[in-house]
Every structure is written in structure tokens, then in C-alpha cells.
């Protein structure tokens, strides 16, 4: 039984409609999967962003503490520099003329301590 032109065109149009409908259904199914993955990714992104904000607060607190520590270290270093300067100017320089006498005495005392330590351990 031969098909008429109208029947053949309806058959082609029906076939095209079935293909388009199938493609559209597969497209919607893939779109639904993509939306589900996007929601999961968005939830994970929100969670990571919250953790990042918490971490940022902790780091900011540590940096502030570090700033205070650096300031106090600067004060200590400045004070130590003043003390060493005082000792160099007021103690060491005036004692320069006595070093030839003091140094051999200190060496002698140091050697005596070493000998006592060796005798007590040996």
C-alpha cells in the first residue's frame, strides 16, 4: 500500500516531533541534574565561605596580638640597647686600662673551675 504525499509528510512531521520531544525531555533531565549539582555546590560554597570568615576573624585576632607583641619587643630592644650603651660607656670604657690585669685573673679562675669539674667527674 503506497503512502500518499500528505500521509508521508504527517509521518515525517510526527517523527520529527517525537525526536524533538525526546531531545527536549533529555535536555530537561540533564538540566535538572545540573541544577541539583549547582545547589550542592552552592551549599558547599556557603559552608566554605563561613569557615573562611571564621578563619579570617581568627587571623585578624592573631595579627592584632602579634602587633602588640612586636611593639613590646621594640620597647624591650630599645631598653636593652640603652642598658648596653650605658654599660659600654660607664663600665667597659673606664675599665679598659684594667683589662690587662682583669683578663688573666678571669682566665686563671676559669681554668681552676674546669680542673675542679674534671676531678669531680673523672
Three cell numbers, residue 88: 659600654
Determine if the pTM surpasses 0.75: no
- Model confidence band, residue 86 (pLDDT cutoffs 50, 70, 90): confident
pLDDT score, position 34:
97
- Model confidence band, residue 122 (pLDDT cutoffs 50, 70, 90): low
pLDDT score, position 44:
97
Instruction: Write down how long the chain is.
Output: 122
For every residue of 65-101, which 3-state class applies, written as one string? HHHHHHHHHHHHHHHHHHHHHHHHHHHHCHHHHHHHH
Q: What is the CA radius of gyration of the chain?
A: 45
Least confident of 27-36, 47-56, 91-100: 91-100
pLDDT score, position 15:
97
pLDDT at 114 over 80: yes
Q: Are 44 and 38 in contact (CB under 8 A)?
A: no
- DSSP designation for 4: P
Amino acid at each position: 500500500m503506497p503512502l500518499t504525499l500528505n500521509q508521508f509528510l504527517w509521518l515525517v512531521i510526527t517523527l520529527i516531533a517525537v525526536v524533538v520531544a525526546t531531545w527536549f525531555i533529555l535536555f530537561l533531565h540533564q538540566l535538572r541534574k545540573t541544577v541539583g549539582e549547582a545547589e550542592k555546590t552552592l551549599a558547599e560554597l556557603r559552608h566554605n565561605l563561613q569557615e573562611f570568615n571564621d578563619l579570617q576573624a581568627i587571623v585578624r585576632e592573631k595579627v592584632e596580638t602579634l602587633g602588640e607583641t612586636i611593639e613590646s619587643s621594640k620597647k624591650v630592644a630599645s631598653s636593652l640597647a640603652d642598658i648596653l650603651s650605658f654599660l659600654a660607656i660607664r663600665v667597659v670604657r673606664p675599665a679598659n686600662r684594667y683589662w690587662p690585669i682583669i683578663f688573666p685573673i678571669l682566665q686563671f679562675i676559669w681554668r681552676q673551675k674546669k680542673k675542679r669539674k674534671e676531678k669531680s667527674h673523672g
